[in-house]
Amino acid sequence: MISRRKFLKNTALGIAGGALSLAAFEIIDPKKLMALEAADGKKIRWVFLVDTYKCVGCGMCVKACKLENEIPYDASVTRTWVERYVLTKDGKVHADTPKGARDGFTTSKIDLGVSEEAAPKDILAKPEENGVHTYEDINPADIDKAFFVPKLCNQCENPPCVQVCPVGATYQAPDGVVLVDRTWCIGCGYCIMGCPYGVRFFHPVYHTAEKCNFCYHRITKPDPQNPKTFMKTACVQACPFGARQIGNIKDPNDPVTKIIMTERVGVLKEEYGTKPQVFYIGLDKEVR
């Protein structure tokens, strides 16, 4: 005959044990799916198309992105940027991206950054004097080919940055865009180190991880001027030359989808297995 004390003790332990194990399982319950099931019913997967033949390096996209997405204009970091490549006859590659091409490319000299010799001995005392940039003149007669390559977050299908976030602050939305929860990010920087494309940075004001999110606040709304379609990202809209385009790969009638499916396009750093979703027309082998 079990004593009352023992019975009560065992019941209490049983309930506590059961509750705790259920609480533990909450962390790994696969059925706790979000009630998201394509909120607007349409299947969407955002992709981006860059035409490097059309890009002239004006940098309007970078300026528009900074102003639209409130990245401090004077900060060195940017959600998108444009790179310039000048390939000379001796086989050398000269590349630069002054301030991410925020002000365009208004010199033909290649920005070589700061050499360690030119850096002031104590850059911390006077950061505004962080070395003098050296520049390289290129003789136009030596140029084999030269072009501009806009870069932005590839919203990869297998995003390595999401994989390495220790707390679930960055994630991929069902439509493919990778977002960062500013209220949850602890600022460890692992996602920044994990991105092979260098698109992530710490926001200078919010101090959380930040990156291009395809202007998520725009593309998820209909375009007021053309409600049958979605609003374009700031950089796509700002580009006068149509070098940047955004589309939905799941919509066979989307002009971007048609180009990706029928023309020769390339992606960046395919060897990392990230499955990037920004496609490039005219991607040269020398592009980093």
Partner 1 sequence: MKNHVLRPFIVFLGIVALILIARIFLVPKDFGIGERGYMYGWHRHGNEEEWKNQIIKVKYMGKEYCKDCHADKYGSINKTPHRIIPCEDCHGPAGTPEGIVHYDADKRPKLPIDKSRAQCLRCHYPLPYPTSGRSKIRSIDPDKHNPDIECSSCHNPHNPMGGLR
Partner 2 sequence: MVPSGEMLAHGELWTVKELFTYPNEFIYWSVQIVMYPFMTGLVAGAFVLSSLYHVFGVQQLKDMARFALVFSFALLFAAPMPIVLHLQFPFRGIEIFMTPHFTSAIAAFGVVFFTYGAIVASELWFLYRKHFVEVSLRLREKQDKTLVEWFQYLIFCSLTLGVYDVSEEALHRDEKAIKILAGVGIPVACFLHGYAGFIFGSVKANALWMTPLMPVIFIMSAVVSGIALCMLTYIIVMEIRRFLAARKRLSGPGRFTSTEEIKGVEVHVIKLTAKYLVLFLVAAISLELLDLIFRGYTALKSWDVVRSVLYDRDFYDIFIMQYVIGNLVPLILFLIPGLTIRRAVVGVMLVLFGVFMMRWNVVIGGQAFSLTFAGYMHYHLPIIPHNWETFKEGLGGALSIFIMPFVLFWVIAKIFPVFAEAKQE
Q: Which of 215, 286, 197, 255 is nearest to 61 (CA)?
A: 215
Query: Residue with structure tokens 């806009």?
Result: 150
As a whole number of angstroms, the distance between CA 54 and CA 172 comes to 30
How many other CB atoms are found less than 10 A from the CB of residue 75?
15
Query: Residue with structure tokens 């992709």?
Result: 47
Interface stretch with partner 1, choices 73-81, 113-121, 142-150, 264-272 (CB under 8 A): 142-150
Q: Which of positions 135-164 make contact with partner 2 (CB under 8 A)?
A: 151, 160, 163-164
Interface stretch with partner 2, choices 139-147, 183-191, 229-237, 239-247 (CB under 8 A): 183-191
What string of DSSP letters covers 229-268?
EEPPPHHHHH-TT--EEEEETT-TT-HHHHHHHHS--B-S
Interface stretch with partner 1, choices 30-38, 195-203, 245-253, 262-270 (CB under 8 A): 30-38
> Least distance in Å: CB of 2 to partner 1?
19
Query: Residue with structure tokens 């092979």?
Result: 196
Q: Which of 105, 92, 271, 114 is nearest to 197 (CA)?
A: 271
Q: Which of positions 179-208 make contact with partner 1 (CB under 8 A)?
A: 179, 181-184
* SS3 category, 59: coil
Residue 54, binding choice from partner 1, partner 2, none, Cβ under 5 to 8 Å by partner class = partner 1
Among 14, 17, 18, 168, binds partner 2 (CB under 8 A): 168
Among 108, 172, 208, 237, binds partner 2 (CB under 8 A): 208
Among 134, 196, 223, 283, binds partner 1 (CB under 8 A): 223
Among 57, 59, 61, 96, binds partner 2 (CB under 8 A): 96
> Least distance in Å: CB of 22 to partner 2?
17
How many other CB atoms are found less than 10 A from the CB of residue 145?
10
Among 58, 110, 268, 278, binds partner 1 (CB under 8 A): 58
* SS3 category, 191: helix
As a whole number of angstroms, the distance between CA 288 and CA 286 comes to 6
- Interface residues with partner 2 (CB under 8 A) are 27, 72, 74-78, 81, 93, 95-97, 99-100, 112-116, 119, 123-125, 127-131, 151, 160, 163-169, 184-190, 192-202, 204-205, 207-208, 271-273, 288
